[in-house]
Amino acid sequence: MTPLPDSFCPTDGTRVPAGSLAWCCPLCRGPLDLDFSPTPAPLKSLTGRVNSLWRYAEVLPLATPSASLGEGRTPLVALKNGISAKLDYLMPTLSFKDRGAVLLAELALRLRPSRIVADSSGNAGTAVAAYCARAALPCTVYVPFGTSSKKLEQIGAHGARVEVVRGGREATAAVAREAADDPDAFYASHAYNPYFLHGTKTYVHELWEDLGGRLPQVLVVPAGNGTLLLGAALAVAELYGAGLLDRRPALWAVQAAAVAPLAAAWRADADDLVEAIPAADTLAEGIAIPRPPRARQILRAVRDSGGTFLTVTEDQIRHAQLDLASRGLYVESTSAVCWAAVREGALGDRTAVVPLCGAGLKSGLAASSGA
C-alpha cells in the first residue's frame, strides 16, 4: 500500500504526520496542504488506461481505489468563439465534487475513523454521501437552512444523516467543525482537506489530455471555497514543472456580485480578505462563501497565473442558465456563472474553457426577476 504523504500548514509551516485525523493546523486553525510533488505521466503513456480520473495515478496521493464510481473523463464541447465547456455535471452524483469526494472516501477507508462529518450547501455533501455509501462508511452531512430539496433528497437517499442548520453557510460550517473536533472524527471537508484539491486537479489533467498536450489560454472557474481553482493551479504547476506545457493558462475566477469577498480583495490589491461580506441571497448558492478559508491561496494563484476576478449579477446568471439550456446544456444556476462572465465577449479572441459543474435537475431553473 502506498504510504500517505504528510500535511503542512501553508501559513506557518506546522507539519501534521500522515495518518492523522487533524483537519486543520493545530496552531492557526487554517487549512492544510499535502507535502506531495508528483510528476505527471507523458501523454502517450495514458493510452489504454482506465477511463476515469484514476488514469492519472502518478499525480494522485492515493492509489488502487476501492470506492470509485467511474468519476471523471467528462466531455468537452464547443460553445462559441474559441470557448468550450467541460461537462462536469455528467458525474455519478451530477456535480464536479465527485472528483474530490472519491479521494476523501478513499482516505477515510485508510484512516478508519469512528465517524465522518461534512458540511455543504448541497453538491459536496451529496458527493461525500455517495462515496461514503460506496465505501460502506456512515456519515453525517450538515447543510444550511434553505438548501435545495432535491439536494437534500439525494443526500438522504445515499444513507447519510442530514442535519439542517438554522443559519447560512458560515453557521453550518461552524457546527460541522465543532463536530469534527472530536478526535475520532474525520472531517470530509472540501474546503479544508487537501486531498479534495488533488481530486479536483484531475479536471485540468483531463483537459490537457483531450486537447493533445496543451491547455487553452484561459481557464474560467467559479470561486467560492476555490476547490476547483486551486486544483487547477496544482495541475498546471505539475504539468508545467514536468515540461509537459509550454505556457501556463491564466485563471479567471468568477463570483456572484451578491457575495464576492475574493473579488473585493482583488480590487483592493490585497493578499487576503479585506472586508466582512454579509451573507446574502444569490442564485449561485454553491459559491456564496463569505469567508473562504483558503482566500490567501486563491488570490495568490490567480495573481501568479496572470488572471483576474470577475463578478456577475443575478440577471446575468439567469440569462446564462437559459442560454446554456438553449444549447442543450441544462445546468444549475451556480454552474452558469462562468458562462455569464464571458459569453458577451470579455475574453476577446482568447481561447478558454468553462466548467459546467452541476446539473440543472439539482435545483431547477432560476426564477425570473419578476417572480
What pLDDT shows up at residue 120? 87
Instruction: Average the pLDDT over 174-188 and give the result.
Output: 94
Do residues 230 and 322 both lie within one domain?
yes
**CATH of residue 353:** 3.40.50.1100
pLDDT digits (tens, 9 = 90+) for 279-338: 788 999 889 999 999 999 999 999 999 999 999 999 999 999 999 999 999 999 999 999
pLDDT at 263 over 90: yes
Do residues 166 and 235 both lie within one domain?
no
Q: What is the DSSP string of 218-281?
A: EEEEE-SS-HHHHHHHHHHHHHHHTT--SSPPEEEEEEETTS-HHHHHHHTT-SS--S------
List the domain range (segments joined by +) for residue 246.
76-95+193-362
Question: Per-residue confidence at 1, pLDDT binned at 50, 70, 90?
Answer: low
Do residues 335 and 200 both lie within one domain?
yes
Number of domains in the chain: 2
Do residues 340 and 270 both lie within one domain?
yes
- What is the pTM (predicted TM-score) of this model? 0.96
Per the structure block, which three cell numbers stand in for 137? 462508511
Instruction: Average the pLDDT over 71-91 and give the result.
Output: 97
pLDDT digits (tens, 9 = 90+) for 94-134: 999 999 999 999 999 999 999 999 998 789 999 999 999 99
Domain assignment present for 316: yes
What whole-number distance in Å separates Cα of residue 104 and Cα of residue 305? 28
Do residues 118 and 247 both lie within one domain?
no
Do residues 80 and 131 both lie within one domain?
no
What whole-number distance in Å separates Cα of residue 367 and Cα of residue 371? 6
User: What is the three-class DSSP state of 290?
Assistant: coil
What pLDDT shows up at residue 278? 77
Q: Judge contact between 254 and 228, C-beta under 8 A.
A: no
Instruction: Average the pLDDT over 256-283 and give the result.
Output: 92
Domain assignment present for 58: no
Do residues 242 and 134 both lie within one domain?
no
**What burial class does residue 145 get, using C-beta atoms within 10 Å of its C-beta: 0-12 exposed, 13-18 middle, 19+ buried?**
exposed
What pLDDT shows up at residue 371? 37
Per the structure block, which three cell numbers stand in for 204? 485540468
pLDDT digits (tens, 9 = 90+) for 10-48: 999 999 999 999 999 999 999 999 999 999 999 999 999
What pLDDT shows up at residue 275? 79
Mean of pLDDT over the chain: 95
Do residues 149 and 161 both lie within one domain?
yes
pLDDT at 370 over 60: no
Domain assignment present for 311: yes
Instruction: Average the pLDDT over 232-253 and give the result.
Output: 98
Do residues 236 and 346 both lie within one domain?
yes
Strands of the sheet with 83-86, listed across from one edge: 76-80, 83-86, 352-355, 218-222, 250-256, 308-312
Do residues 314 and 246 both lie within one domain?
yes
What whole-number distance in Å separates Cα of residue 267 and Cα of residue 260? 11
Domain assignment present for 14: no
Domain assignment present for 44: no
Domain assignment present for 371: no
Domain end position, chosen among 187, 210, 234: 187
Domain assignment present for 11: no
Q: Closest Cα to residue 356, out of 313, 324, 315, 317?
A: 324
Q: 116: which strand partners? A: 139, 186
Domain end position, chosen among 142, 165, 187: 187
Do residues 310 and 215 both lie within one domain?
yes
Do residues 264 and 147 both lie within one domain?
no
Domain end position, chosen among 187, 208, 226: 187
Q: Judge contact between 61 and 329, C-beta under 8 A.
A: no
pLDDT at 367 over 70: no
Domain assignment present for 33: no
